[in-house]
A and B are shown apart, each in its own frame.
Chain A
């Protein structure tokens, strides 16, 4: 059994070796479906709702392996951000400390009030060093001059985190109008309408450049199809507006078609973005995997988050060839609810679980994820954004109690 990692792990659980062995067969199977029966008995029904994100260990893997462990512990960059970011990330650290997760956080603050890029450059360097980051949203103040770019955007483009992945699933414990939603959204994360290229050649007439390149379109389409195959998904839908932006979105669509031809087992279709949003609010169950350029990705992500219960519930991940950054899927700062202990910690906790999966700490990821979902679906302890009256700390305490009750090693409650 050959592994592409340099270091082999310290005594790992029997379960880890089983998973590695299966992955190294390179089979294009839905690995999450395979492990369900294995984990099912231990973790109950909530496990079936959220399968783990497994990565293959070969060179064709979608996600790069995490950097070598040092003393058995990983170092992850943590960017608290603004608004509710700092308090939610504190809760993540609390849960990690409680569960004895072998992760140390290197905290890098980014001040959104200053115009220099020193802070964000420090953050980028830290992420290059550690390979993985967990972040809150950094506010982009409208009062700043236009030359001051969005810090979040700078981070994504500098690290070339080209794929933004969001998995929207209906949660049984949350009241929503539509049920049985299970959509994966893959959004191109570096170009498109977010190129920050605007000019005003004539006063009062602004031109913005939307950049679509063949390279990046092929890259994101390839990512989408490989992810679809890895997860055993049947259909990929490209979202575009090529009837109007014939060259830009036309190129994107063309690239998707080219990549699709290499995956005959997966159905490919396309839909215009305005029709897509209409279909999403009336019949969201028809969608499986969706791939799209940057701006439409922003719109569709937000709509889907709203459909499953709101921005407090869905985690998001940004993947590049060499780095991965995890955050909440809808990148809100939540300024109006900051510091009031009412924010929903679910999205950030689930994002931290995605990060743990990326670091191949699958046991810890499952344990925390299961506890969060149990609190959501069985205990039904909800924060205000999903109609409950619980505080953030009450939800976090409940999560830790569930973890403790499963009998794993924990520190003091």
Chain B
């Protein structure tokens, strides 16, 4: 599942019926499991909390290990082909895929590089408040990966 590898103090599942809890203090939550509709609503709500669909990765896991990983944002036809898009969502989805495949080292390296680039704020795409191109953002991540090696 998604990169977080914290261990919870107890394994007893609790139920929460209040979406207000999520809005007021989302840090109290760790792993949430739910039926389809609530998942649809809650995943978008949480994406809103962390910065939107441009940075949110996802995966669809099926039986026998078949899985499809995807970003959940739209096709954004208005910025397609202009080297403007933010690749973070799709990149982190690819990281999820690497972890699913057991390639944790690679996954961690790419994730660290990506997070560091965003944290640094020097090379950001337009939706995150910068004015760099998609290719520049990607190049920066690649550079950091090289440095990590």
B interface secondary structure, majority: helix
State which of A277, A310, A311 has its C-beta within 8 Å of the C-beta of B48: A277
A330 to B22, CA, bound (A): 14
B31 in contact (CB, < 8 A)? no
Binary B-proximity of A255-278 (CB < 8 A = 1, otherwise 0): 000000000000000000111011
Q: Is B19 an interface residue (CB 8 A)?
A: yes
Least CB distance from B47 to A in Å reads 6
A306 touches B21 (CB 8 A): yes
Q: A274-B40, A274-B41 are in contact. Are A281 and B48 (CB under 8 A)?
A: yes
Verify A278–B19 contact, CB threshold 8 A: no
Are A303 and B23 interface neighbours, CB within 8 A?
A: yes
Answer whether residue B44 sits at the interface, using C-beta atoms and an 8 A cutoff: yes
Write the chain A residue with the least CB distance to B44.
A274
Interface pair B18/A332, CB less than 8 Å apart: yes
Contact of B20 among A241, A275, A306 (CB under 8 A): A306
B138 CB–A CB distance under 8 Å: no
**Chain A interface, >50% SS class:** helix
A305 touches B20 (CB 8 A): yes
Q: In the docked arrangement, what's the CA distance between A138 and B101, Å?
A: 49
CB–CB A299/B19 < 8 A = yes
Among A278, A280, A282, A330, the one with the most B-chain Cβ atoms within 10 Å of its Cβ is A278
In the complex, what distance in Å separates the CA atom of A241 from the CA atom of B37? 10
A310 neighbours in B (Cβ, 8 Å)? 20, 24
> Is there an interface contact between A307 and B23, defined as CB atoms closer than 8 Å?
yes
Given contacts A302-B18, A332-B18, contact A281 B23 (CB under 8 A): yes
Give bound CA distance, A323 to B48, whole Å.
38
Q: A214 to nearest B CB, angstroms?
A: 23
User: How many residue pairs between the two chains, A and B, have CB atoms under 8 Å in the bound complex?
Assistant: 59
Given contacts A241-B37, A303-B45, contact A278 B20 (CB under 8 A): no
Interface residues contributed by chain B, number (CB under 8 Å): 19
Q: Is A279 an interface residue (CB 8 A)?
A: yes
**A299-B41, A306-B23 known; A281-B18 Cβ under 8 A:** no
Q: Which of A278, A311, A332 contacts B45 (CB 8 A)?
A: A278
Count class of interface residues, chain A: 20 to 34
- Does B20 contact A302, Cβ atoms closer than 8 Å? yes
Query: Are A302 and B19 neighbours in the complex by a CB distance under 8 Å?
Result: yes
Q: A311–B16 Cα gap in the complex (Å)? A: 14
Question: Given A274-B43, A275-B44, are A282 and B23 also a contact pair (CB < 8 Å)?
Answer: no
Indicate if B49 sits at the interface (CB-CB under 8 A): yes
Cα–Cα, bound, A281→B20 (Å): 11
Instruction: Find out whether the CB atom of A277 lies under 8 angstroms from the CB atom of B20.
Output: no
Residue of B nearest to A245 (CB): B37
**Residue of A with least CB distance to B24:** A306
Measured CB to CB, the closest approach of chain A to B127, in angstroms, equals: 12
Contact A277 B37, beta carbon cutoff 8 Å: no
Interface pair B52/A278, CB less than 8 Å apart: yes
Residues of chain A lying within 8 A (CB to CB) of residue B19:
277, 299, 302-303, 306
CA distance A303 to B21 in the complex (A): 8
Nearest to B36 among chain A residues (CB) is A244
Question: With A and B bound together, what is the CA distance between A281 and B52 in angstroms?
Answer: 10
Cβ of A306 and Cβ of B45 under 8 Å apart? no
Q: How far apart sit A311 and B23, CA to CA, in the bound complex (Å)?
A: 11
**Chain A hits for B128, CB < 8 A:** none
Among residues of B, the one whose C-beta sits closest to the C-beta of A281 is: B48
Closest 5 CB pairs of A and B: A306-B23, A306-B20, A278-B48, A274-B44, A277-B45
Residues of B bordering A, CB below 8 Å:
18-24, 37, 40-45, 47-49, 52-53
